[in-house]
Amino acid sequence: MLAVAIQENTPPWIAGLHEIQDLEVREDVLLAPMGSFRIGGPADVLVSPSSPEAVASLQEFVLREALPLTVLGGGTNVLIGDLGIRGVVVDLSGGFNFLHEEELDDKTVCWHVGSGCGTGRIVRRSVTKGLVGAHVLAGVPGSMGGALIMNAGGHEGEIGDVVHRVQVAQAGTLHWLNQEECGFSYRNSMFARDAIVLSAELHLQKSVNDALRETVSHAQKRRKSTQPLQKPNAGSIFKNPEGAYAGQLIEESGCKGWTEGQAQVSPLHANFIVNLGGATAAQVLTLVERVRQEVASKHGVTLKMEVKLLGDFGPELNVLKGELVNAGK
Ligand SMILES: Cc1cc2nc3c(=O)[nH]c(=O)nc-3n(C[C@H](O)[C@H](O)[C@H](O)COP(=O)(O)OP(=O)(O)OC[C@H]3O[C@@H](n4cnc5c(N)ncnc54)[C@H](O)[C@@H]3O)c2cc1C
């Protein structure tokens, strides 16, 4: 019945997870390799569901057992604590990595995209098929699920603009939310805190000329020349405050190049922190706070986090983590 032999000393809650259908369960999995920062301790348990029903059952289980649950997408906009993530971490990159196409009329196509689908695949397919809308993810790494949660995008627009509806699992129930209910705004959405985004329907327009390929290539080139892509990082650390650019404020405050251990404010783009090799989450978080304080004192602006802080940073830094998360809401 169970695909995996369960050891005698396995805690009962982990043994219980093994009984959920369509759910692969792995214990004590190091998360650093799963995020673009290459930082972070282990997950107690990493699970990979392969059906919406498995996700719903998982939610019922963690509710019953009062276990914390965290979803990790492509890990490109997160800083994971050095002590890892307690409870259950969900990875949708296996079972929810799909992209199906349906023609709606002579101008519009509907894409059914799983949350585990990578943005690179989405952009490549947009260009090949000449479909406008999801190309706004050009140069934005990660997964469809993360892009929906973050309402990712750039100069060309945001992914929320082309969302028709999104399937979520919440408290063990599966349902669909229309675009309005998703509450998309700048690098934000209004999915419930405990919702797991499973897939989306995107309505894309057939392009009438060859401009799309050019637009995507331009966006990718611009990012290559302005972002420190050679070093591990997690994209923009802070959101742009109303009417200003976080990177510019940080640069004007003199923080470019600041270091804390092996974490450095990128000399190329001040809103990026790079991992020079072996940086810890503690070093990154300490540097984040030094930059925030400096910008507040020089410009009177309190920057809010764009990067999500996940997991356990240790007793002292967990307090700072809590403050930063609350300030970012
Ligand atoms: C070099 C670089 C450049 C970047 N440039 C841009 C840019 O131009 N524009 C932009 O918008 N972003 C940019 N980013 C940030 C990042 O790529 C986006 O925010 C991306 O959409 C995050 O997706 P992800 O799958 O990696 O999500 P993750 O980083 O894994 O997760 C982000 C948040 O979403 C939650 N989450 C993820 N998937 C799900 C799900 N299925 N259900 C529920 N919660 C979920 C996580 O718990 C976390 O809180 C950049 C990042 C890097 C490293």
Domain count, the chain: 3
On the question of pLDDT at 304 being above 90, the answer is: yes
Residue range 15-29: average pLDDT? 97
CA 172 to centroid of ligand 1, rounded, Å: 24
> Half-sphere exposure (CA, 13 Å, Cβ side) for 16?
15
Residue range 289-317: average pLDDT? 96
State whether 207 and 279 are in the same domain.
no
79, 149, 155, 190: residue to mutate for ligand 1 pocket, most atoms within 8 A of CB: 149
CA 232 to centroid of ligand 1, rounded, Å: 14
On the question of pLDDT at 196 being above 50, the answer is: yes
Nearest CA to ligand 1 atom 3: 235
Reported confidence tier of residue 2, pLDDT bands at 50, 70, 90: very low
CATH number of the domain encompassing residue 147? 3.30.465.10
CATH number of the domain encompassing residue 293? 3.90.78.10
Partners of 27 in beta bridges:
45
State whether 185 and 285 are in the same domain.
no
CA 19 to centroid of ligand 1, rounded, Å: 31
DSSP track, 100-163: EEEE-SSSEEEEEEETTSBHHHHHHHHHHHTEESGGGGTT--SBHHHHHHHT-EETTEEGGGGE
Parent domain of 280: 230-327
Which has more confidence, 7 or 192?
192
State whether 106 and 207 are in the same domain.
yes
State whether 82 and 103 are in the same domain.
no
For the segment 204-250, what is each residue's pLDDT rounded down to a tens digit? 999 877 789 999 999 999 999 999 999 999 999 999 999 999 999 99
pLDDT at 5: 64
State whether 40 and 116 are in the same domain.
no
Domain endpoint, select from 38, 70, 91: 91
37, 46, 76, 175: residue to mutate for ligand 1 pocket, most atoms within 8 A of CB: 76
State whether 103 and 163 are in the same domain.
yes
pLDDT at 1: 41
On the question of pLDDT at 150 being above 90, the answer is: yes
pLDDT at 31: 98
- For strand 78-80 and strand 308-310, is the pairing parallel, antiparallel, or unpaired? parallel
For the segment 25-81, what is each residue's pLDDT rounded down to a tens digit? 999 999 999 999 999 999 999 999 999 999 999 999 999 999 999 999 999 999 999
Alpha carbon distance 215, 86 (integer Å):
42
CATH number of the domain encompassing residue 22? 3.30.43.10
Domain endpoint, select from 91, 112, 143: 91
Domain endpoint, select from 91, 119, 134: 91
Average pLDDT over the chain, rounded to an integer = 95
Alpha carbon distance 15, 10 (integer Å):
6
| Inside any domain, residue 225 | no
State whether 128 and 200 are in the same domain.
yes
For the segment 238-291, what is each residue's pLDDT rounded down to a tens digit? 999 999 999 999 999 999 999 999 999 999 999 999 999 999 999 999 999 999
**What pTM did the predictor assign?**
0.95
State whether 127 and 148 are in the same domain.
yes
First to last CA, the chain: 44
For the segment 88-136, what is each residue's pLDDT rounded down to a tens digit? 999 999 999 999 999 999 999 999 999 999 999 999 999 999 999 999 9
CA 152 to centroid of ligand 1, rounded, Å: 7
Give the binding-site residues of ligand 1, using a 6 Å CB cut-off.
Answer: 36, 70-78, 92, 115, 139-143, 145-147, 149-150, 152-154, 187, 196-197, 227, 229, 233-235, 308
